[in-house]
């Protein structure tokens, strides 16, 4: 007996507690005792502190800052008449030799390449735009060579997926794509549809981006397919800003770019991205923005110039 009592003391269980815990009450069953023990264990585990390693708090990626909108400027499109002017750069040189904006009290803030060998002038006020527009259109050395006008609203654009590659040069593929698109959808020749550019797709396919007349876009905007031969192709509205992948500026395409040298998308150097050896990626758009903005918050530059997270790109996209 003494040996048994010593074992009970060592195990921390007294005789009375042992009797009370093992005593069966009338009307209870062993199964109910087991379920009661499980409930007691569950209550203790719910009240106790979590066991195990606790990981560090999640680090949230910093949000993209919202840039203030650009100053609203007046714009003027100057396009050549006939085939005398061969490029946007040639037209700009001609205008600079014939027109002197400062003598007329006009502030021309920038001159950018435009479609059809034209140029786009950004002018400070509508009054100044009217002055230089009139001066160009009545100038004896310019009125028969080019015409100046206020830009029209941009036609809607659609992205047509998985267009089969037909081979040949760009002009041949463009003509074949537009002809088949018009014929398959019964689009009249008077309806304005232009192929702007294409992007590589999977395998032997391309994704084309044409601009379409507003009246035609209104008839297809609630659908997601256009007919193409004995089938159909999926499309969506294209809301991306126009971007040049040579000088990396917005507002024109590579085919209309007048820059003499290609700029890198990975750093601020004047070379192709294929030749870039910079150890880190730096956005030239955000670098230039920080340089011009001497006061106020800065934007991050640790992304490429063609990143969809670039604050400058996001601002341009909201405008388009």
Q: What is the pLDDT of residues 156-204, one digit of tens each?
A: 999 999 999 887 788 888 899 999 999 999 999 889 999 988 888 888 8
Cα angle, residue 217 at apex, residues 215 and 219 outer, rounded to 5°: 80
Whether 59 shows a pLDDT value over 60: the answer reads: no
Answer for the pair 103, 158: CB distance below 8 angstroms, yes or no: no
pTM of the model: 0.52
- Gyration radius (Cα) of the chain, Å: 36
Strands of the sheet with 108-114, listed across from one edge: 108-114, 118-123, 74-80, 146-149
Q: What is the pLDDT of residue 70?
A: 62
C-alpha atoms less than 13 angstroms from C-alpha of 313 in its C-beta half-sphere: 17
Residue 212's Cβ-count burial label (10 Å; 0-12, 13-18, 19+) is buried
Chain centroid to CA 71: how far?
A: 21
- For residue 3, name the pLDDT band (cuts at 50, 70, 90): very low
What is the arithmetic mean of pLDDT over 47-56?
52
pLDDT at position 8 is 47
What mean pLDDT is predicted for residues 133-156? 91
DSSP sequence for the chain: -HHHHHHHHHHT--HHHHHHHHPPPTT--HHHHHHHHHHHHHHHHHHSPP-S--PPPP-PPPPPPPPPPPPP-EEEEEEESTTS--SHHHHHHHHHHH--GGGGT--EEEEEEETTTEEEEEESSHHHHHHHHHHHHH-TTTTTTEEEEPPPPPPPBEEEEEEEP--S-HHHHHHHHHHHHHHHHT--TTS-EEEEEEEE-SSSEEEEEEEE-HHHHHHHTT-SEEE-SSSEEEEEE--PPPB-TTT--BSS-GGG---SS---SSSSSSS-GGG---SS---HHHHHHHHH--SS------S-TT-TT-HHHHHHHHH-
pLDDT tens-digit series, residues 251-270: 888 877 878 889 999 999 99
Q: Which domains are delineated in the chain?
A: 74-149 (3.30.70.330), 158-237 (no CATH), 248-319 (no CATH)
What's the rounded Cα separation, in Å, for the pair 298 and 65?
A: 9
How confident is the model over 105-128, as a mean pLDDT? 90
Identify any residues that bridge with 3 across adjacent strands, giving them in sequence order: none
Among 66-70, 139-143, 232-236, which stretch is predicted with the lowest mean pLDDT?
Answer: 66-70
Nearest-CA neighbor of 251 among 148, 120, 91? 120
DSSP string, 258-308: --SS---SSSSSSS-GGG---SS---HHHHHHHHH--SS------S-TT-T
């Amino acid at each position: 007996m003494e040996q048994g009592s010593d074992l009970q003391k060592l195990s921390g269980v007294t005789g009375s507690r042992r009797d009370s815990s093992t005593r069966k009450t009338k009307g209870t069953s062993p199964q109910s005792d087991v379920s009661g023990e499980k409930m007691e264990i569950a209550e203790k585990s719910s009240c106790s502190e979590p066991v195990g390693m606790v990981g560090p708090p999640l680090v949230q990626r910093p949000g993209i800052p919202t840039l203030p909108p650009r100053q609203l400027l007046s714009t003027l499109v100057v396009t050549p008449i006939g085939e005398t002017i061969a490029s946007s750069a040639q037209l700009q040189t001609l205008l600079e030799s014939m027109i002197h904006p400062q003598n007329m009290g006009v502030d021309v803030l920038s001159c950018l390449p435009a479609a059809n060998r034209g140029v786009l002038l950004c002018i400070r006020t509508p009054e100044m735009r009217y002055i230089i527009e009139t001066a160009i259109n009545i100038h004896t050395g310019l009125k028969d060579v080019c015409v100046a006008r206020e830009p029209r609203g941009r036609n809607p654009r659609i992205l047509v997926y998985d267009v089969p590659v037909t081979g040949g040069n760009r002009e041949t593929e463009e003509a074949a794509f537009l002809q088949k698109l018009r014929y398959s959808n019964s689009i009249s020749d008077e309806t304005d549809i232009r192929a702007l550019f294409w992007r590589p797709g999977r395998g032997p396919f391309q994704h084309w981006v044409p601009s379409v007349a507003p009246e035609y876009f209104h008839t297809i905007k609630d659908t997601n397919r256009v007919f193409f031969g004995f089938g159909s192709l999926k499309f969506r509205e294209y809301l991306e800003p126009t971007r040049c992948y040579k000088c990396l500026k917005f507002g024109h395409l590579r085919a209309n770019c007048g820059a003499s040298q290609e700029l890198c998308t990975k750093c601020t150097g004047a070379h192709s991205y294929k030749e870039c050896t910079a150890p880190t990626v730096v956005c030239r758009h955000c670098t230039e923005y920080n340089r011009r903005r001497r006061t106020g918050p800065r934007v991050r530059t640790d992304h490429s110039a063609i990143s969809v997270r670039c604050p400058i790109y996001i601002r341009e996209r909201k405008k388009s």
